[in-house]
Amino acid sequence: MYPLNTRLINIVQESPSTRTFFFDRYFDANAGQFLMVWVHGVDEIPMTLSYNSGITVQKVGDATSRLFKMEKGDTIGLRGPFGNGFTLPKKSDKILLVAGGLGAAPLAPLAEYSFKNGVDVTTILGARSSTELIFGKRFSSAGDLYITTDDGTSGTCGFVTDILTNLNLSDYDRIYTCGPEVMLGCIFNMLQDEKYVLEKTEFNLHRYFKCGIGVCGACCIDPKGLRVCKDGPVFKGTELIDSEFGEYKRDASGKKVNI
Amino acid sequence: MVAKKALYPHPKNPVILASGIMGTTGASLTRMAYNGAGAVITKSIGPVPKKGHPNPTMIELENGFLNAMGLPNPSYTEFVQEIENAKNNTSVPIIASVFAGDKEGFVKVAEELSSANPDGFELNVSCPHAEGYGATIGCDSCLVEEITASVCDIIDVPVWVKLTPNVTNIVDIGKAAERGGADAVVAINTVKGMSIDINTGYPILGNRYGGLSGRAIRPIAVKCVYDLYASLDIPVVGVGGVSCWQDAVEMVMAGASAVQVGSAVSQSLDVFKSISSGIEDYLYTNGYSTIDEIVGFSHKMG
Ligand SMILES: Cc1cc2nc3c(=O)[nH]c(=O)nc-3n(C[C@H](O)[C@H](O)[C@H](O)COP(=O)(O)OP(=O)(O)OC[C@H]3O[C@@H](n4cnc5c(N)ncnc54)[C@H](O)[C@@H]3O)c2cc1C
Ligand SMILES: Cc1cc2nc3c(=O)[nH]c(=O)nc-3n(C[C@H](O)[C@H](O)[C@H](O)COP(=O)(O)O)c2cc1C
Ligand code: FES
């Protein structure tokens, strides 16, 4: 597909470093699917759909900084939605969402979908500090919410894993996680010994994307050569056993870099 | 018809993974082998690490794909372990694709990658969108002959040379490769192309222009393979727009001893299995025992 020229219709500051960009185009997508967002003249970068018509962006480099300079009425090019998205829960399932920082972006639409469909939702939402917490309202309207911050400015002082250890994970039919890979790696290590828990846990991964459509191989993870852009970005915990996940990734040239 | 020699020792399945598709890691190459590729070619590897062009680097068009990856690769220093990894995990031939800006560069990269014992080399003198590399060399028959000869000198496994269609006469370049000692030529790399976003006027690819692949280029590839087969004594490997067994048989009848599949991997990773079993059925149904009996068949038919 050609990039679809799309107009920004609203921009919302979510935290000091993140903004949601709403656009005049609706994507019928599963939570966890992503778009390739073309910032004209700069770059094209992967972004999770945090709404059917919106993406939530953290300013980290060239393309995201250019996006932050944009105003209502400006246009971007969008390709997608791509990737698999999360396995949707069934009515009357009990699910646990674990979101760290921007990891809330794909999980908030999943929380809303689940609530609408009669699923029992519990969320653990973590961030560095209270100002960096995003989508707290979207999660709390969908069910129970535990908040953690690294500096204790909101909720429990500590990490999402501190809450996770105190929950009885056999209570949940499905567990969904998204956040920095170091955090996901900690969760994975916690659950690794209990294969039945890993089996029902899904991890949303990030790798460097070029084509975004499963052809170039830039985003492949060892040792099975799974493509994060096409076979993922959501993987079952059991698919990640003995993989590079949590250890290393590849940069734009294909060189390994440690997590 | 001229008898062409084998492409690599013990060829079994003539459907090969093309360079630059799922060829960035040992694991991705192994996965393609498990999915039925008869041999796999690595991403083109160069003398120094390259991040490649900025995105968008690949888009799908009506009838194919346009890409300008810009030869991203971690250089031979990192890639030796990827080839070793693939060699340890699959028995299909692993062919190392090499690019560089000059003869010395090609020799250096091939020599260094040899330590991982690839089953063959493919010299990429045909990438249409990396300044100073690829097709800039592939348009010059003297350079192609010289580079091919220097690599063949130091390498004892088969060396293939991959040609660009973006020249006036591809046969001239094919002959240069043959004179240089190539064991086969591979045709074709992508066809120069460009696409513009009419809403903004921006060329879509980060590099502005790139190379067209997929269905749209198949007739171009078939003609190149046909012409090369007619004029060369070494085997021709056909690549460009092959997405089903009928396309592969067409390429073979034009003169290809084997075919490579690139863009069609986007449909399904099972494409290798379906093409190779389709070829087998075709041979059986028509009373042939090996593919060699139909290589270049259309040259006899007027
Ligand atoms: C599936 C997926 C979903 C994502 N969803 C979101 C999201 O919802 N919100 C958000 O803010 N960020 C998201 N990201 C990360 C986002 O793509 C990067 O932050 C963005 O590309 C940075 O671009 P830049 O030009 O501003 O930074 P740069 O200066 O180019 O790079 C900074 C860092 O960003 C990452 N990055 C740059 N280019 C790419 C690329 N083509 N593919 C992957 N990573 C890249 C690299 O880690 C790099 O080190 C997602 C990434 C993936 C893979
Ligand atoms: C994304 C992409 C990357 C490619 N990278 C390389 C490369 O590194 N080296 C090379 O020799 N050819 C490269 N090619 C060209 C292919 O190997 C092949 O020659 C071309 O795509 C035509 O075949 P197809 O129509 O089956 O894709 C690339 C093609 C694509 C689509
Ligand atoms: S980014 Fe090209 S295969 Fe995933």
pLDDT > 50? residue B2: no
Q: State the alpha helices, DSSP H only, in B139-270.
A: 141-154, 170-180, 218-231, 245-254
Contact B200 A43 (CB under 8 A): no
| CA angle (A259, A106, A174) in 5-degree steps | 90
Cα(B267) to ligand 1 centroid in Å equals 26
Question: What's residue B129's pLDDT?
Answer: 66
Question: What's residue B6's pLDDT?
Answer: 56
Residue among B27, B206, B266 minimizing CB distance to A222? B27
Contact B56 A3 (CB under 8 A): yes
Question: What's residue A194's pLDDT?
Answer: 82
State the distance between the two ends of chain A, measured CA to CA, in whole angstroms.
33
Question: At B208, is the pLDDT very low, low, confident or very high (cuts 50, 70, 90)?
Answer: very high
Cα(B25) to ligand 1 centroid in Å equals 21
Cβ-Cβ contacts under 8 Å for B300 (sequence gap 6 or more) = B1
Question: What's residue A51's pLDDT?
Answer: 98
Contacts A217 to B, Cβ<8 Å: 21-25, 28, 43
Residue among A212, A213, A220 minimizing CB distance to B28? A220
Contact B263 A215 (CB under 8 A): yes
pLDDT of A19-35, one tens digit each? 999 999 999 999 999 99
Question: At B302, is the pLDDT very low, low, confident or very high (cuts 50, 70, 90)?
Answer: confident
Closest ligand 2 atom to residue B64 Cα is 25
| CA angle (A57, A60, A64) in 5-degree steps | 50
Measure in Å the smallest separation between the Cα of A215 and chain B Cα atoms.
6
Q: What HEC string does A51-97 produce?
A: ECCEEEEECCCHHHHHHHCCCCCCEEEEEEEECCCCCCCCCCCEEEE
Query: Mean pLDDT in chain A?
Result: 97
| Dist CA B114 CA B107 (whole Å) | 10
Q: Is A157 in the pocket of ligand 3 (CB under 6 A)?
A: no
Helix (H) or strand (E) holding B106: helix B103-114
Strands A174-178 and A94-100: parallel
What ranges make up the beta strands (E) of chain B?
15-17, 39-41, 58-61, 64-67, 94-98, 120-124, 159-163, 184-187, 191-194, 209-213, 236-239, 256-261
Q: Which of A57, A49, A105 has the alpha carbon at shortest distance from A81? A: A49
Question: What's residue A91's pLDDT?
Answer: 93
pLDDT of A131-175, one tens digit each? 999 999 999 999 999 999 999 999 999 999 999 999 999 999 999
Q: The complex's ipTM?
A: 0.94
pLDDT > 90? residue A39: yes
Question: What's residue B162's pLDDT?
Answer: 97
Pick B127 or B72 by higher pLDDT.
B72
Closest ligand 3 atom to residue A228 Cα is 4
Question: At B128, is the pLDDT very low, low, confident or very high (cuts 50, 70, 90)?
Answer: low
Question: What's residue B220's pLDDT?
Answer: 98
| Dist CA B233 CA A28 (whole Å) | 55
Instruction: Give percent of chain A above pLDDT 70.
Output: 100
pLDDT > 50? residue B85: yes
Contact B49 A255 (CB under 8 A): yes
Q: Which of B180, B264, B174 has the alpha carbon at shortest distance from B225? A: B174
Q: Tell me the average pLDDT across A25-52.
A: 98
Q: Which of B85, B82, B63 has the alpha carbon at shortest distance from B74? A: B82
Ligand nearest to the CA of A178: 1
Cβ-Cβ contacts under 8 Å for A171 (sequence gap 6 or more) = A94
A158, burial (CB in 10 Å: exposed 0-12, middle 13-18, buried 19+) = middle
Q: Tell me the average pLDDT across A201-220.
A: 98
pLDDT > 60? residue B9: no
Tokens 């698999």 locate to A84
| Dist CA B145 CA B180 (whole Å) | 4
Tokens read off for B50: 């390259």
3-class secondary structure, B50: strand
Contacts A224 to B, Cβ<8 Å: 27, 31
Query: Mean pLDDT in chain B?
Result: 94
pLDDT > 90? residue A95: yes
Nearest CA to ligand 2 atom 2: B20
Ligand nearest to the CA of B160: 2
Q: Is B263 in the pocket of ligand 2 (CB under 6 A)?
A: yes
Tokens read off for B278: 């389709």
Q: Tell me the average pLDDT across B81-85.
A: 98
Ligand nearest to the CA of B275: 2
Question: What's residue B4's pLDDT?
Answer: 45
3-class secondary structure, B43: coil
Active site residue B224: no
Which amino acid, B133? Y
Q: CB of A23 within 8 A of CB of A37? A: no
pLDDT of B144-192, one tens digit each? 999 999 999 999 999 999 999 999 999 999 999 999 999 999 999 999 9
Q: Is A208 in the pocket of ligand 3 (CB under 6 A)?
A: no
- Residue B282 has phi, psi (to 5 degrees) of -60, -45
Q: CB of A228 within 8 A of CB of A221? A: yes
Q: Which of B62, B203, B199 has the alpha carbon at shortest distance from A6? A: B199
Closest residue on chain B to A212 (Cα): B58
Q: Is A216 on the interface with B (CB under 8 A)?
A: yes
Closest ligand 2 atom to residue B242 Cα is 26
Longest dimension (CA), chain A: 51
3-class secondary structure, A45: strand
Question: What's residue B3's pLDDT?
Answer: 39
Helix axis angle, B170-180 to B141-154, nearest 10° = 30
Q: CB of B243 within 8 A of CB of B37? A: no
Contact B74 A255 (CB under 8 A): yes
| Dist CA A45 CA B55 (whole Å) | 7
Q: Which of A186, A177, A194, A189 has the alpha carbon at shortest distance from A236? A: A177
Question: What's residue A193's pLDDT?
Answer: 82
pLDDT of A218-256, one tens digit each? 999 999 999 999 999 999 999 999 999 999 999 999 999
Q: Is A233 in the pocket of ligand 1 (CB under 6 A)?
A: yes
